Amino acid sequence: MGFFDPVAGFAVTLRQIFKRKVTTQYPEEKRTKPQRFHGRHVLNRYPDGMEKCIGCELCAGVCPARCIYVRGKDNPADEPVSPGERFGFVYEINMLRCIFCAMCVEACPTEAITMTHLFEMSVGDRQDAIYTKTELVMDPDGSVPHPQPESILIDLAELRQGDGWMRATAPAGRAAYEGVGGWTATAGVGMREPEPPQSPASGPQSLEESEEV
C-alpha cells in the first residue's frame, strides 16, 4: 500500500463534509406525505355518530396477509350501532402482519375502513400491535384514538388525513356523474373535498342525488 492511498481516501471524506446535507432531522422534520399514503387504519363514523362498518367481513376475506378478523352481529333494534342490519361486533387488525396494501379499503362497500397518514406504530409488546375497535373506531367528534398519544414521534393530526384516492368525481369515467361526490360524509369533517385537481361542480353532492335528478 502506497503512502498516498489512505490520503486519497481521507480526501473523499473531507469533500463530503462540506457538501449540502440531505439527512432529514426526524422526528423534528417530517416529509409531506402524498394524499394516497397508506398509513394506519381507522374505522369511520357517519356525522350522526353511527358506525359505517356493517360487519360484512369483506375486508377480512380480501386481505392477502390474513391480518384482519371481523365478526358481525345483528343490530339491536332499540339502539342500532350502524345503519345496516348488522355491525362489526369484533374488529381486529394485526399490524405486525399487515402489508398496507389497502385491499381492505377497496373492498369495503360503506367506506368504513380507510387508511390515514400515520405510520408510527412501534410497540414494546407484540400484543399491543393487535388493534381492536378501541383503537380503530373514531370518536363521534371525528378524532381517532391512538395507543401512544404522547409519543414525540406521533402527529395525531395525521389520523385525520388520507383517503384521497377514493374521492374521485365521475367514477369509471361516467359523464353523468362528473362533478358529483361519490363518497359519504364522515364524523368531524363532513363531506370531504375531492382529490386535487378535481373540483365538484355545483349541483348534486352525491350519486343518489344525481340519480334523482
Helix, strand or coil, per DSSP, at residue 35: coil
Domains in the chain, start-ordered, CATH in brackets? 24-166 (3.30.70.3270), 167-213 (no CATH)
Render pLDDT for 148-197 as a digit per residue (tens, 0 to 9): 877 777 888 888 887 766 777 776 667 777 777 778 889 988 888 887 77
Q: What is the DSSP string of 153-185?
A: T--GGGGG-B-GGG--SSGGG-GGGTT---S--
CB atoms within 10 A of CB 39: 19
129 vs 148: which has the higher pLDDT: 129
Average pLDDT, rounded, for the chain: 84
106-115 per-position pLDDT tens digit: 999 999 999 9
Q: Which parts of the chain fold into alpha helices (H)?
A: 4-17, 58-62, 103-107, 133-136, 207-212
Amino acid identity of residue 167, one-letter, is R
